[in-house]
Structure 1
Amino acid sequence: MNEREYKEVKELLSSKKNIVLVPHRNPDGDAIGASLAMYHYLQNTGHNVTVIAPNDYPSFLKWMPKSKDVLKFDMQNRQSKRAIDEASIVFLLDFNALHRVGSDMENTLKDFEGTFIMIDHHQQPDAIAKYLFSDTSICSTCQMVYHFLENIDAVDSIDTSIATSLYTGIMTDTGSFRFASTTSTTHRIIADLIDKGANNALIHNNVYDTNSYSRLQLLGCALSNLKVEETLKTAYITLTQQELDEFNYQKGDTEGVVNYALSLNGVIFAVIFIEDVEQKIVKISFRSKGSFSVNKFAREHFNGGGHDNAAGGRSEISLNETVSKFLDILPNYKTELLNSYEA
């Protein structure tokens, strides 16, 4: 967005509106954090605001201020569709294409005749929003929301609830500030959010230190399934539906597990394959270090995409067939894997 567009958005938000905020399907900390931050800001400035998540999200994010007010489109369908029908503005937060919300919600949003505003940091956004704030160099959508508020002269309106939401999203999308996308600007924003009321120790505890016993047992199972392709600097993990059921899998229980594979000395490419019998797919998360682009890999082979060092994908063949396909493809990337600058 340019200066003229920010002025137009500021004018658009200067009078009371019905506004809907939408994160992507299976929303993570950044998506929920961005949605709740905008929810608090817009409510505080007099708008009627509804957050509609396509589906449920992990319990370790449900402590966030006003999280209980988030509608789930798949479970509160009529209420969600009514809110979209009555809205004049829909914010699309932390995703770059309507298919990222699932087919039913995608069809509903395609019929929306109001104004779309997209704030996102993923590559190759679709041309669906009148106002697009897209920057792939920024570590998180929550940092982009902070900049959005800067550009409409609203940073001073950040209160404890907004600061908490933004801090949570930046923390989770940067791996607690350790990824290369974490810049000095990110740290300056984090300092301002702490000054504005974000309790950094409490936020970290609420997200990372509330594991259930069964979740840790599932982690142990995942690590026991870990395989390493040493000559290709790659590690991967599999989880079957039977294993998920055995350890009472709850949404969010596999969040971050792929990073254990990436933490191995000498590994620059890590993958987790998770069987989902209900959806008849295998869900895949890709992570990398250095110059190896998992966004490109996921787009070319597994109906996915994301960032250069963090992406997702899916497969509609069996878990074993998916892993075999992956292992067949992998040697074609040997040169790129061996030459990643962090290897």
Structure 2
Amino acid sequence: MNSADIATIKSLLATPQNIVIIPHKNPDGDAIGSCLGLSKFLDCLGQNSTVVAPNDYPKFLKWIPGNEEILNFERENSQSKRLIEEATLIFTLDFNHLSRTGQMESYLEAASADFIMIDHHQQPSDYARVTYSDVSMSSTCEMVYNFIDSLDGVSKISKDIATCLYVGIMTDTGSFKYASTTSQTHRVVAQLIDKGAENMQIHQQVFDNNSPARLHLLGVALNNLVILEKYKTAYITMSQDELDKHNYSKGDTEGFVNYGLTLDGIIFAVIFIENKEEGIIKISFRSIGDFSANEFAREHFNGGGHTNAAGGRSDFNMEETTERFIELLKNYQKQLNS
């Protein structure tokens, strides 16, 4: 953040505010961790803050300190709307366009509050009074740490805040293996461990709490894996029937797309997941190196994200979607093999 933005934020926080903190729809570890970490820090400043999530999120995130205080917009609709209406300051974390909040979008657009955006995705929109956007950052949680530091608040980071921020950095960096993990990321993580984040316990809580149903579902996903060697691409399909048969719960397919990238020679991996309730195929894209999953998702599947990790959707059925995907790859064969 520049000095003008820091001065604006300090001015806004110099008096008590009614603050609402919003993650994106279907929030992940970085979204939940950054929102709860920021909320707990603002509470230390004497502010009144509440996290309102657009919808539910995976069970493996529901142990994070402060989780029980999050409002679910779908379930606690009246209370959530009232808080947004009464808010004097709204933070939006880990997304940069209000459409990413689903059915909350119109209520946020109508809000009279000032907005502060903290996000690391590409192409931010301009709805916020203060926009802290940096696509080079590993995670929004790392940015929240920087936000706290810019307000001279590192001394206020408690074990709970450190735990929240560690979760987001760990999950959004693929346990520190993605290219966005910098030496500064490790320095921040070291600070969080010094502040009380228990790295082994956090890893176990997030990654080592699988249900038998999830592991069986992973087996189905791997059995459905298709390898397209000439495009250095692998993709997985998951039908609604397959999800239902294995008692799918939100978050159960988290990370499945990454298995394609563990194959020798594969640089582009995709998972297509049928969602009959929404009438779409939800898509996750992952890539290695210079091939932009973000540009591919934006250009062809109404999505976007980061250079090497993006999401999208298709309104066609599974067969039509995968056929279109394979046809599109023909236009990228040179890039994928460069």
TM surpasses 0.5: yes
Q: Secondary structure at the match of 1:33?
A: helix
User: Where in structure 2 are the equivalents of 1:87-126 lying within 5 Å?
Assistant: 87-102=87-102, 104-126=103-125
Tell me how far 1:108 sits from its aligned partner. Answer: 0.3
Which residue identity does 2:109 align to in structure 1?
A: K
Alignment partner of 1:84 is 2:84: yes
Instruction: Quote the Cα distance in structure 2 between the aligned partners of 1:73 and 1:316.
Output: 25
Paired with 2:38 and 2:77, the residues of 1 have a C-alpha distance of: 22
Aligned residue for 1:326? 325
Q: Name the amino acid aligned to 2:322.
A: V
Counterpart of 1:187, as a letter, is H
Name the CA distance, whole Å, in 2 between partners of 1:295 and 1:262.
16
Matched position secondary structure for 1:132: strand
Give the alignment's TM-score, normalised by structure 2.
Answer: 0.99
Letter of the structure 2 residue corresponding to residue 37 of structure 1: G
In structure 1, distance between residues paired with 2:316 and 2:74: 25
Partner of residue 141, structure 1 = 140
Identity of aligned residues (%): 58
> Following the alignment from structure 1 to structure 2, what is the Cα–Cα distance between the partners of residues 318 and 324?
10
In structure 2, C-alpha distance between the alignment counterparts of 1:300 and 1:5, rounded to whole Å: 33
Q: Which residue of 1 aligns with 2:29?
A: 29
Root-mean-square deviation over aligned CA pairs:
0.6
Is 1:264–2:260 an aligned residue pair?
Answer: no
Given residue 26 of structure 2, which amino acid in structure 1 is its aligned partner?
A: N
Within 5 Å, which residues of 2 pair with 1:15-94?
Answer: 15-94=15-94
CA distance in 1, matches of 2:75, 2:262: 37
3-state DSSP of counterpart to 1:83 = helix
1: CA distance, partners of 2:204 / 2:5: 39
CA distance in 1, matches of 2:66, 2:141: 17
- Aligned residue for 1:282, secondary structure, equals strand
Cα distance between partner residues in 2 of 1:192 and 1:14:
26
Is the Cα contact below 8 Å between 1:29 and 1:61 reproduced in 2?
yes
SS where residue 22 of structure 2 aligns? strand
2:266 is paired with a residue whose SS is coil
Contact residue 87 and residue 112 of structure 2 kept, 8 A: no
Counterpart Cα distance in 1 of 2:201 and 2:176: 16
Deviation at 1:9, TM superposition (A): 0.3
Cα deviation digits, residues 206-259 of structure 1 (max 9, x gap): 000000000000000000000000011000000000000000000000000000
Runs of 4+ in 1 over 6 A off after TM superposition: none
- Look up the match of 1:288: 287
Contact 1:65 1:161 in 2 (8 A): yes
Superposed displacement of residue 3, structure 1: 0.3
- Is the Cα contact below 8 Å between 2:283 and 2:313 reproduced in 1? yes
Distance 1:238 1:14 in 2: 51
Distance in structure 2 (CA, Å) of the matches to 1:316 and 1:70: 32
Structure 1: distance between partners of 2:175 and 2:87? 35
Letter in 2 for 1:265: D
Separation in 2, partners of 1:47, 1:121: 25
Equivalence for 2:254? 255
SS of equivalent to 1:312 = strand
Aligned pairs (5 A) from 1:158-237 = 158-237=157-236
CA–CA separation in structure 1 for the residues paired with 2:85 and 2:50:
12
2: distance between equivalents of 1:72 and 1:210?
A: 23
- Whole-angstrom CA distance in 2 between matches of 1:30 and 1:157: 21
Q: Secondary structure at the match of 1:278?
A: coil
Work out the CA distance in 2 between the residues paired with 1:195 and 1:175.
21
Rounded to whole Å, the distance in 2 between the matches of 1:167 and 1:27 is 16
Aligned partners of 1:98, 1:8: CA distance in 2, in Å?
A: 22
